[in-house]
Amino acid sequence: MSLKIRLTRGGAKKRPYYRIVVADARSPRDGRFIEKIGSYDPMKPKDAADRVVLDLEKVQAWLAKGAQPTDRVLRFLDAAGLAKRPARNNPKKAVPGEKAKERAEKKAEKAAAPAAEEAAAEA
């Protein structure tokens, strides 16, 4: 059985509130879970102490049993010093896409056309 430490959404419409739970990987996001080990309130300011609440002993016990945290939960665990989140590197992220390259080429051609006409008129 594959266990995940993940978020389940609660709260009202446009007012999210998440519980951090241990669940079977096959169960639905807001469905059955094994144990609640914390909570996350994204509506609170980032520097609020109770924005992320974790029961550290339970988290360590479940990690020792082989539960795998999701990406977002891994961020919380890294901030708490319980797990190490590897740094990610995506060098292609800042490279413009094909359409953006085409638009840049057309813009450069339009800018070069009046300059070429001025040079021809002066000669």
- Please give the pLDDT value at position 116: 67
What is the rounded average pLDDT for all residues in the chain? Answer: 89
- Please give the pLDDT value at position 1: 65
Domain identity same for 8 and 39? yes
- Dihedrals phi, psi of 77, to nearest 5 degrees: -65, -35
> Which positions ≥6 away from 55 have C-beta within 8 Å?
37, 38
Residue 48 counted as domain residue = yes
Distance CA 47, CA 62 (A): 27
- Please give the pLDDT value at position 123: 59
How many C-beta atoms surround the C-beta of residue 52 within 10 A? 20
pLDDT (average), residues 93-114:
88
Distance CA 115, CA 65 (A): 69
Domain identity same for 98 and 74? no
Closest of 86, 77, 87 to residue 20, by C-alpha: 77
Which tens digits make up the pLDDT trace of 23-56?
A: 999 998 888 999 999 999 999 999 999 999 999 9
Residue 85 counted as domain residue = no
Q: What's the domain range around 58?
A: 3-80
Could you tell me the pTM of the whole model?
0.70
User: Residue with structure tokens 């339009």?
Assistant: 110
Residue 119 counted as domain residue = yes
In this structure, what CATH number is given to the domain that contains residue 46?
Answer: 3.30.1320.10
Residue 50 counted as domain residue = yes
Please tell me the total count of domains within the chain: 2
Residue 22 counted as domain residue = yes
Contact call for residues 18 and 40 (beta carbons, < 8 A) = yes
